[in-house]
């Protein structure tokens, strides 16, 4: 069903340092499939307080929050859902009559994917990164029973803080460690970035791993994922993460949960763009 925006159309949006088309196409496709009077648009901004203030002032129903705004937005909302409060990182804002409540659907997606891919809980792991998304991933690992972890982060302050808060180790570099699961939660491998063609971990570490997880979604097959697939590793991609977290955002914004077929079609449509 083709929707025609009107004065009653509910606007949703995303706020990202590097806006992409996935969320825009995913949400708008589902709005059309389900006959919902919503429209979704992607934005970036150099004025974060102004952007979040605009969500409240203009009655924008929901906003997806991506890097690098996941932590900076916390001070600008009215309430944190437990999913966001526990890890002090948000990726979703829901506006109800001017009241902005923040959630973290990344955490939900990570937990679902670790279970879906049957990653053994006794796996040792190294997670590269220490920002807002790294907090969501590491927290989901901790809560999922993954006890033997290493946070790899060049920023000692944030890296140690994340590791200490969850009971993991910290190192500036992976060194000669060879964990069973490698997780990239940095922009390394992201399209358009300075490190788009680089591997987030050295080849020897990838060869020794059993599971490789890259949170980068654009492209869906990063250099890390391509190498891991070629070596027959269990892989979890950023595309899987972004699709599940977008579904949970959609439900928060609209109150409607699409069925599996509708979800699969929306993911395929979003990927095609």
* CATH code of the domain in which 152 resides: 3.40.50.720
Do 203 and 245 reside in the same domain of the chain?
Answer: no
Residue 255's φ and ψ, nearest 5 degrees, are 80, 10
Query: Is 1 inside any structural domain?
Result: no
The token duo for 181 is: 């699961």
Secondary element (H or E) of residue 163: helix 156-166
**Boundaries of domain holding 45:** 10-103+240-272
Do 58 and 156 reside in the same domain of the chain?
Answer: no
95, 107, 182, 223, 267 from 24: Cα distances, Å:
18, 21, 30, 25, 11
pLDDT > 90 fraction of the chain, expressed in percent and rounded: 88
Domain count of the chain?
A: 2
Do 75 and 165 reside in the same domain of the chain?
Answer: no
The token duo for 188 is: 């390394």
What is the 8-class DSSP label of residue 273? -
**Cα 23 to Cα 38: distance, rounded to the nearest angstrom:** 13
In terms of Cα–Cα distance, which of 126, 256, 254 is closest to 179? 126
Do 128 and 226 reside in the same domain of the chain?
Answer: yes
| pLDDT tens-digit readout, 210-241 | 999 999 988 989 999 999 999 999 999 999 99
In terms of Cα–Cα distance, which of 60, 89, 67 is closest to 19? 67
Do 115 and 225 reside in the same domain of the chain?
Answer: yes
Residue 198 falls in which region: left (phi positive, over 0), alpha (psi -120 to 50) or beta: beta
Query: Is 3 inside any structural domain?
Result: no
| pLDDT tens-digit readout, 5-45 | 899 999 999 999 988 899 999 999 999 999 999 999 999 99
Do 262 and 246 reside in the same domain of the chain?
Answer: yes
Do 184 and 136 reside in the same domain of the chain?
Answer: yes
Do 176 and 232 reside in the same domain of the chain?
Answer: yes
Do 122 and 93 reside in the same domain of the chain?
Answer: no
Residues in the chain: 273
Do 177 and 194 reside in the same domain of the chain?
Answer: yes
Mean pLDDT value across residues 92-118: 96
Query: Is 2 inside any structural domain?
Result: no
Reported pTM: 0.87
CATH number at residue 70: 3.40.50.10860
Contact 91, 106 (CB under 8 A): yes
| pLDDT tens-digit readout, 157-215 | 999 999 999 999 999 999 999 999 999 999 999 988 899 999 999 999 999 999 999 99
Query: Is 175 inside any structural domain?
Result: yes
**Cα 266 to Cα 9: distance, rounded to the nearest angstrom:** 20
Just list the catalytic residues: 70
Do 116 and 226 reside in the same domain of the chain?
Answer: yes
**Alpha helices (runs of H) in 41-152, residue ranges in sequence order:** 48-58, 82-85, 105-116, 132-143
Query: Is 59 inside any structural domain?
Result: yes
The token duo for 172 is: 């500036």
Mean pLDDT value across residues 66-90: 92
Do 168 and 201 reside in the same domain of the chain?
Answer: yes
The token duo for 90 is: 């948000």
- Number of Cβ within 10 Å of residue 102's Cβ equals 25
Q: Helix, strand or coil for residue 126?
A: strand
Q: Strands of 38-43's sheet, edge to edge?
A: 38-43, 10-15, 62-65, 92-96, 99-103, 79-80
Query: Is 5 inside any structural domain?
Result: no
């Amino acid at each position: 069903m083709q929707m025609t925006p009107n004065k009653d159309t509910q606007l949703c949006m995303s706020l990202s340092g590097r806006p992409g088309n996935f969320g825009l196409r995913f949400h708008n496709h589902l709005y059309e499939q389900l006959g919902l009077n919503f429209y979704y648009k992607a934005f970036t901004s150099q004025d974060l307080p102004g952007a979040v203030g605009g969500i409240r002032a203009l009655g924008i129903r929901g906003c997806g929050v991506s890097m690098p705004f996941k932590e900076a937005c916390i001070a600008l909302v009215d309430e944190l859902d437990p999913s966001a409060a526990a890890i002090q990182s948000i990726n979703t804002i829901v506006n109800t009559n001017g009241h902005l409540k923040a959630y973290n659907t990344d955490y939900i997606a990570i937990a679902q994917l670790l279970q879906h891919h049957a990653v053994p809980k006794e796996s040792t792991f190294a997670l590269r990164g220490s920002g807002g998304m790294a907090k969501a991933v590491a927290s989901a690992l901790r809560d999922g029973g993954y006890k033997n972890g290493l946070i790899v982060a060049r920023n000692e302050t944030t890296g140690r803080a994340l590791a200490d808060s969850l009971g993991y180790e910290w190192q500036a570099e992976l060194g000669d460690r060879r964990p069973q699961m490698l997780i990239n939660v940095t922009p390394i491998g992201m399209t358009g970035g300075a490190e788009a063609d680089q591997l987030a971990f050295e080849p020897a570490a990838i060869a020794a791993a059993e599971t490789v997880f890259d949170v980068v979604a654009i492209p869906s097959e990063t250099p890390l994922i391509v190498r891991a697939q070629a070596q027959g590793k269990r892989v979890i991609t950023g595309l899987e993460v972004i699709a599940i977290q977008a579904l949970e955002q959609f439900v928060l914004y609209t109150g409607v949960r699409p069925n599996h077929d509708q979800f699969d079609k929306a993911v395929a449509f979003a990927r095609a763009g």
